Chains A and B, each alone.
Chain A
Amino acid sequence: NAGVTQTPKFQVLKTGQSMTLQCAQDMNHEYMSWYRQDPGMGLRLIHYSVGAGITDQGEVPNGYNVSRSTTEDFPLRLLSAAPSQTSVYFCATAKYSGGVSYEQYFGPGTRLTVT
């Protein structure tokens, strides 16, 4: 039972390049989300999904794209990387019931540097 896995663990991109951060879960959770963590700013929600085929924007969605074709996977795409996207990215999952998501389970993170 792996929980929430993220790949890669580290990535360096040049400005303008694109890439996909992978997130997979085996917890059968309906809710999945992507956060970025920056010093002094806590965690900020990028995008989230409450089930396959359903996604929505969080607080800081610009420059990122997501899709949810299966319950297990929730990839995050950087369309054209910018230095401002240098951050640590976390994927998280949660049970979702009655329109409410509960405590979240986080992956180990991806550290992204954009030069």
Chain B
Amino acid sequence: AQSVAQPEDQVNVAEGNPLTVKCTYSVSGNPYLFWYVQYPNRGLQFLLKYITGDNLVKGSYGFEAEFNKSQTSFHLKKPSALVSDSALYFCAVPLNTGNQFYFGTGTSLTVIP
């Protein structure tokens, strides 16, 4: 079955440092992979997606993600963290039918001033 895992519940990083939020996937065939962000008391917002092509995907707010097939990972990255990046981050994968999505359990990112 298609699934994703986010191994870290919480990530802390100092402002200005690079950040990484991890996601690994278990997918048969070519994966479609997504990242979303949720700010407090808000709905999720789409950040970026990998469908095919370049392994480095660029998205909103300066975020990017690297697709690594050998490590079955799709980690979210940003070169320089901002305090305003503090939020909950979810990776997601569509199930085989393409009509349902499986979301990871989320990683809470805190950027320390």
- In the complex, what residues of B have CB within 8 A of residue A92's CB? 43-44
A108 near B90 (CB under 8 angstroms)?
no
- In the complex, what residues of B have CB within 8 A of residue A4's CB? 43
Which chain A residue shows the least CB distance to B49? A103
Which chain B residue shows the least CB distance to A4? B43
- In the complex, what residues of B have CB within 8 A of residue A102's CB? 49
Q: 0/1 per residue, A20-61, Cβ < 8 Å to B?
A: 000000000001010100001111110010100000101100
The complex places the Cα of A101 from the Cα of B34 at a distance, in Å, of 12
B100 near A45 (CB under 8 angstroms)?
yes
A64 interfacial by beta-carbon distance below 8 Å: no
A42 near B99 (CB under 8 angstroms)?
no
Q: 0/1 per residue, B29-45, Cβ < 8 Å to A?
A: 00010101000011111
Q: Chain B's nearest CB lies how many Å from the CB of A52?
A: 15
Which chain B residue shows the least CB distance to A49? B99
Interface residues on A, range: 20 to 34
- In the complex, what residues of B have CB within 8 A of residue A40's CB? 9, 105
How many B residues touch A, CB cutoff 8 Å? 22
- In the complex, what residues of B have CB within 8 A of residue A43's CB? 44, 90, 103
B43 near A99 (CB under 8 angstroms)?
no
- In the complex, what residues of B have CB within 8 A of residue A74's CB? none
Scan residues 63-115 of chain A and give those whose CB is less than 8 A from a CB of chain B. 90, 92, 99-109
Q: Chain A's nearest CB lies how many Å from the CB of B21?
A: 14
Q: 0/1 per residue, B81-97, Cβ < 8 Å to A?
A: 00000000010001001
Question: With A40-B105, A43-B103 in contact, do A103 and B98 touch (Cβ < 8 Å)?
Answer: no
Which chain B residue shows the least CB distance to A58? B100
Query: Can you list 20 A-B contacts with CB-CB less than 8 angstroms, sorted by A residue number?
Result: A31-B99, A41-B105, A42-B105, A42-B106, A43-B90, A43-B103, A50-B99, A56-B99, A59-B100, A92-B43, A100-B94, A100-B98, A101-B98, A103-B49, A104-B36, A104-B44, A106-B43, A107-B43, A108-B42, A108-B43
B residues lining the A interface (CB < 8 Å): 9, 32, 34, 36, 41-46, 49, 90, 94, 97-101, 103-106
